[in-house]
Homo-oligomer: A and B are copies of this chain.
């Protein structure tokens, strides 16, 4: 089996992690490392002497021997770089958020499909042991009817200069919800505040409404006294608490709930009797393998097998659509944005 020749563009915070995982995967051959910062290039070159370095990503675009490229640059540059790479016939792995607009995402998807190339988004959390275990649980219907999804991701965090807290943190939770729930909201409403730098929200709240009573809510915050990463997924049967701060028992399944029985009543025709149910709690063992290892493996496998990756361009597009709508709502003081029928966001 011939190794896939890989290039990585962008060696800032996240790029080195991708480099390391490509280096450790036997199916990949690191061929190019690209960054506009000379020092980073030198440092990465020392670690991966087998790869060539360049400050110009177009060198990768025009290298016929290069098979695939991971783009780990600021989101504003994703579209133009990915477009050139896809046109040149490269497979592309894009860092999250996938693109700056849904329009860009759609164009990249189209380009990849026409060229028969793999286009994947690095929704890393989807590849964690915790999320994969929750997917198992949700898929076998253990939660019953889904009632709500509530996520809190707050910290005294790294302030970004180019994007707000929404574009920084929401891709994690939106991609997790998209993967687990497999439903698209009808309307989205968001509010935030900019305490530090005008125009860059450091706190944001999102609510999503669905055709039925299912509701999703998100709290993102760069300016919190404590670090919390907690998601609740409630169903009529069971409920999940996913606490990513916990070192081992990240996922707990609560056999808890409420049952509403409509019974006849002497006085008023019918009445609802609500009864509580509380049972065991179960914390399944989780695969603790680094998620990025599976991201890299899925990228390489999907190229080799010429199939869609788990987190394909449509997954990226769906999250960007939600981000765009949320951003728009936030600009309009929380006014709900009605989402168009998003059936087209899933492959035919």
Q: Which residues of B contact A197 (CB under 8 A)?
A: 260, 272, 274
**Contact status B256-A196, CB under 8 Å:** no
How distant is the Cα of A226 from the Cα of B252 in the complex, in angstroms?
11
Indicate if A191 sits at the interface (CB-CB under 8 A).
yes
Residues on the B chain within 8 Å of A252, using CB: 225
A240 CA / B226 CA spacing, docked (Å): 10
- Taking CB atoms and an 8 Å cut-off, the chain A residues in 174-212 that contact chain B are 187, 189, 191-197, 203, 205, 207, 209
Each complex incorporates copies of this chain amounting to 4
- Residues of the B chain whose Cβ atoms lie less than 8 Å from the Cβ of A284: 280
Give min CB distance, A332 to chain B, whole Å.
10
In the complex, which residue of chain B has the Cβ closest to the Cβ of A333? B336
Most buried by B among A194, A195, A196: A195
Partner of A239, one of B213, B219, B225: B225
How far is B189's CA from A305's CA once the two chains are assembled, in angstroms? 49
A82 to B219, CA, bound (A): 40
- Chain B residues with CB under 8 Å of A156's CB are 256, 258, 276, 278
Q: State whether A225 and B234 are in contact (beta carbons under 8 Å apart), knowing that A191-B189, A197-B272, A281-B249 are contacts in the complex.
A: yes
The reply to whether the CB of A169 lies closer than 8 angstroms to some CB of chain B is: no
Interface string of A253-286 (1 = CB under 8 A from B): 0111110100000000000101010111111110
Nearest B residue to A249 via CB reads B281
Against B, the Cβ 8 Å flags (1 = close, 0 = not) of A32-73 are: 000000000000000000000000000000000000000000
How far is A195 from B236 in the complex, measured between Cα atoms in Å? 9
B285 touches A282 (CB 8 A): no
CB interface residues, A 196-247, toward B, < 8 Å? 196-197, 203, 205, 207, 209, 213-215, 217, 219, 221-227, 232, 234, 236, 239-241, 247
Could you say which residues of chain B place their CB within 8 Å of the CB of A150? 219, 221
What are 12 A-to-B residue pairs whose CB atoms are below 8 Å? A150-B219, A156-B256, A192-B215, A196-B274, A205-B217, A207-B334, A217-B219, A223-B234, A223-B257, A224-B234, A226-B232, A278-B285
Q: A192-B215, A209-B333, A225-B241 are in contact. List 13 more A-B contacts (CB 8 A).
A: A156-B258, A159-B274, A189-B191, A193-B215, A195-B213, A195-B258, A196-B272, A203-B215, A219-B219, A225-B252, A225-B254, A226-B254, A334-B334
